[in-house]
Structures are given as C-alpha cells and as structure tokens.
C-alpha cells in the first residue's frame, strides 16, 4: 500500500514539476519585439503635373516623372538591424485594372523612388494601342510591411491621360448658384463611379420617397469663403452647412443584393492642425442618397483655412485599413470672423 502511495506521489510531483518548468520557460522566452511604424517624412511627384496629352506625331513631349517617399529609419530597425518596410508603387488604368506593381527597398537615408516616362507609359500600358486608354490613371505609392504586406502609409495621385489631337476640355462644374461656385470638378472615375460635382456651401435635403436614402439635395449657396456668422445662421434656419459630393445615380452601381458598391468618407484638416478622419477605421462615412449625391455636414466655429479630402471605399472590402480607401481629391475653403 505504501508503495502505491509513493508511486502516486512521485507521479504527482513530476506533473507539477513539468507544469512549473513550462511556466518558467514561457516567462524567460522573450516576446516578439513590437516596433513602431516608420514616420512618413516626405512624399511627392516631380514634376507635379496632373494632365498628360498624348499625340503620336509629337516626339518631344515625353518627360521622366519621379515618385518618391522618405521615411524615418532610425528607431524602426528590427532586432537584426534591418528595415522591414518597402516602397511599393502600383498603377491603375481608368477601368481600375492594375498594370504595375513593384516594390523597392529604402536606402540608408530612408529614401526610395520610382521613375516613369509620361505620357508614353499610359500609351504603352493601354490594352489596345490603336485605342489608348484615355481617362484618369492612378499612381499609388505606399510604405508596406515586409511580412504582412500591409500598407502603413499611402499617397495616391490621379493623372489625366488625354488625346493630344483634341482640345483639352474645360473643367466641368455644377450650375452656379448665389455668388458663384469656385470648385472645378476634376475627372475622376473608379469602377462604375464617376465624380460629377463637389463643393462647400449651404444646402437643404428634401425627402422624395419612403426609402431612407430618397433625398434630393438643393444647393442654396456655394463658394470658397463663408463667415462663421453665416454658418451659424444657416443652421438656425434649418439649413445645412457642409460638403457636397455627387456622382451617377446609385442604381448604376449596385450589387446582386441591390446594395451600393461604394461608400464615401472624408478627411478634414482644420486651421489649428487638427485632422478629422485621420484614423481610417473610425472615419465618418456614408452612402450617396438617391439619385446620387450626399452631404457631409459641418458645424464649424473657428475662422481659418480648411482642407477637405474626399475618399471612396468599396463596401465589400474585408478590412478598414487605409489601403481600402481610394482618394478622390480635395478642396480648400475659408471661414472668416
């Protein structure tokens, strides 16, 4: 009997010892180091030119265009002393098909670049050179994590590739109301969505149907400068001060479940340096009303210069990272005392 008890005691002691040993190993094993994302110090395009005309008979129009990013390497090296981020460049045709996807390392100063020859690149990368892909091309530059491929900093450029044999079309804008509308509308298309109008102003929303999104937006006044008093008076009278964004009818870009393919958000840069919408996962977003416009309302009271940037996102993207948002463009406006 004593032999049985001793055997059980030994086995119990052994199990407890193994559990204790495993716990000690876990405590002594260093956890994977977590490194801060590298700060984006600078990014740009040179020459900074948005419209590129192509004419087969003109042979001296080609220019080398450089896209670059500069990041903070110091303090962002891994445990082996290497930098686990790449500079990635992607280019998309007007139909959103990808024609370029390359990544490079950053040098010791945290700099990397990509050079294209425009407008030849757009012509060479068109599916059919007999009918070049004129329209809005997008160049997307990003800082990408080596292992996860996740984009941690993004800058995107919308470039117009136009037929050099035709006169350049004037910027299109919505009908002028009140004191005029100084917001030229650039060419922008992503998938089935095309930018039709945008602006800053005072608006009314009128219910036109039973659906939540059956609302017509009526523009009362649109310009690039308002006083704080005008904004406050607009709200007191039941109007809305904010940003207008308009595209094609929603019914032209719905999925099989009769839901819109795209939703829209914004980043608002305030005079004091504060930025609304910096975090993509908490960015204010909404769908367009029927037939195809929306308002982002703002109750702003601080005078100064503001910058509003519109973004588009496919509703079925699996995550809300910055890489899931597509920049549309931005407009500036001012509030006075």
Parallel, antiparallel, or unpaired: how do β-strands 304-314 and 262-269 relate? antiparallel
pLDDT, greater one: 46 or 12? 46
Q: What is the predicted pLDDT for the residue at 138?
A: 92
Q: State the average pLDDT over residues 157-174.
A: 69
First vs last C-alpha separation in the chain: 95
Nearest to 214 by CA among 223, 205, 224, 222: 205
Q: What is the predicted pLDDT for the residue at 48?
A: 79
Average pLDDT, the chain: 82
Q: Which of 106-110, 126-130, 309-313 has the lowest mean pLDDT?
A: 106-110
Q: What is the predicted pLDDT for the residue at 293?
A: 92
List of domains in the chain: 40-163 (2.60.40.1930), 189-336 (2.60.40.2550)
Confidence of residue 196 (pLDDT cuts 50, 70, 90): very high
pLDDT, greater one: 37 or 175? 37
Residue 129 has pLDDT above 50, yes or no: yes
Count CB-CB contacts under 10 A for residue 30.
6
Residues 238, 239, 245, 248: is their CA dihedral positive or negative?
positive
Residue 8 has pLDDT above 60, yes or no: no
- Rounded to whole angstroms, how far apart are CA atoms 174 and 184? 8
- 3-class secondary structure per residue, the chain: CHHHHHHHHHHHHHHHHHHHHHHHHHHHCCCCCCCCCCCEEEEEEECCCCEEEECCCCCCCCEEEEEEEEECCCCCCCCCCCCCEEEEEEEECCCCCEEEEEEECCCCCCEEEEEEEECHHHHHCCCCCCCCCCEEEEEEEEEEECCCCCEEEEEEEEEEEEECCCCCCCCECCCCCCCCCCCCECCCEECCEECCEEEEEEEEEEECCCCCCEEEEEEEEECCEEEHHHHHHHHHCCCEEEEEEECCCHHHCECCCCCECEEEEEEEECCCCCEECCCHHHCCEECCCECCEEEEECCCCCCEEEEEEEEEEECCCCCCCHHHEEEEEEEEEEEEC
Q: What share of the chain in percent tops pLDDT 90?
A: 39
| Angstrom distances, CA of residue 272 to CA of 40, 211, 275, 302, 333 | 21, 39, 9, 9, 14
Q: What is the predicted pLDDT for the residue at 30?
A: 47
Q: What is the predicted pLDDT for the residue at 32?
A: 42
Q: State the average pLDDT over residues 82-106.
A: 92
Token readout for 203 is 């608006």
Q: State the average pLDDT over residues 161-190.
A: 64
Residue 2 has pLDDT above 90, yes or no: no
Ramachandran category for residue 329: left, alpha or beta (phi over 0 → left; psi -120 to 50 → alpha)? left
Model pLDDT for residues 138-162, shown as the tens digit of each residue: 999 999 988 888 888 888 888 889 9
Confidence of residue 42 (pLDDT cuts 50, 70, 90): confident
Place of tokens 């425009």: 118
Is residue 126 within 8 Å of residue 95, measured between CB atoms? no
Q: What is the predicted pLDDT for the residue at 22?
A: 55
Model pLDDT for residues 292-308, shown as the tens digit of each residue: 999 999 989 899 999 99
Place of tokens 């910096």: 278
* Cis-peptide, bond into residue 164, ω within 30° of zero: no
Q: What is the predicted pLDDT for the residue at 20?
A: 55
């Amino acid at each position: 009997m004593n032999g049985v008890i001793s055997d059980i005691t030994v086995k119990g002691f052994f199990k407890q010892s193994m559990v204790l040993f495993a716990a000690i190993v876990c405590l002594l094993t260093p956890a994977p180091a977590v490194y801060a994302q590298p700060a984006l110090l600078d990014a740009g395009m040179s020459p900074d030119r948005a419209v590129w005309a192509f004419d087969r008979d003109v042979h001296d129009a080609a220019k080398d265009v450089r896209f670059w990013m500069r990041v903070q390497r110091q303090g962002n090296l891994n445990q082996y002393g290497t930098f686990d981020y790449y500079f990635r460049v992607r280019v998309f045709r007007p139909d959103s098909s990808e024609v370029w996807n390359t990544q490079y390392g950053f040098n010791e100063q945290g700099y990397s670049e990509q050079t294209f020859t425009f407008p030849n690149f757009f012509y060479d990368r068109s599916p059919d050179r007999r009918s070049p892909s004129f329209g809005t091309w997008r160049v997307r530059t990003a800082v990408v994590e080596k292992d996860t491929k996740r984009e941690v900093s993004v800058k995107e450029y919308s470039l117009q590739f136009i037929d050099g044999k035709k006169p350049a079309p004037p910027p299109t804008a919505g009908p002028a109301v009140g004191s005029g509308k100084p917001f030229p509308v650039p060419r922008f298309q992503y998938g089935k969505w095309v930018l039709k109008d945008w602006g800053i102003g005072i608006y009314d929303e009128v219910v036109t149907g039973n659906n939540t999104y059956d609302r017509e937006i009526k523009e009362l006044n649109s310009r690039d400068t308002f006083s704080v008093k005008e904004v406050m008076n607009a709200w007191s009278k039941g109007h809305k001060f904010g940003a207008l964004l308009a595209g094609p009818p929603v019914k032209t870009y719905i999925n099989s479940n009769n839901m819109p393919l795209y939703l829209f958000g914004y980043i608002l840069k305030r005079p004091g340096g504060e930025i609304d919408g910096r975090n993509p996962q908490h960015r204010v977003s909404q769908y367009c009303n029927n037939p195809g416009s929306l308002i982002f309302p703002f109750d702003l009271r601080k005078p100064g210069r503001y910058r509003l940037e519109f973004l588009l996102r496919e509703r079925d993207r699996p995550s809300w990272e910055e890489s899931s948002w597509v920049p549309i463009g931005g407009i500036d406006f001012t509030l006075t005392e």
